[in-house]
Amino acid sequence: MNRPFFTWIVFGLHFQYEPGGPITSPQVPTGNQRDLAESGYITHEKIKNAGRKLSRLKGLPS
């Protein structure tokens, strides 16, 4: 089974991973990008929910 597809079904989250780097998601912007997103593109609650999903994903074995 293709893990990114499996993850998409389970988590509903787009994410990216670079070897030796963190797992990140464009659905969980940080810093100025988050300010911009919350100013009119997405709600704080949706970012928070995506952040919870990203935290769960980070806990899975690689």
Structural domains in the chain (count): 1
Classify burial at 9, counting beta carbons within 10 Å of its beta carbon; exposed 0-12, middle 13-18, buried 19 or more: exposed
Supply the pLDDT for residue 33.
95
Per-residue pLDDT of 3-52, as tens digits, reads: 554 444 556 888 888 778 788 899 999 999 999 999 999 999 999 999 99
**Domain residues for 14?**
3-58
Q: What does the alpha-carbon distance between residue 59 and residue 47 come to, in Å, rounded to a whole number?
A: 19
Secondary structure (DSSP) of the chain = --HHHHHHHHH----EE-TTS-EE-TTS--HHHHHHHHTTTS-HHHHHHHHHHHHHHHTS--
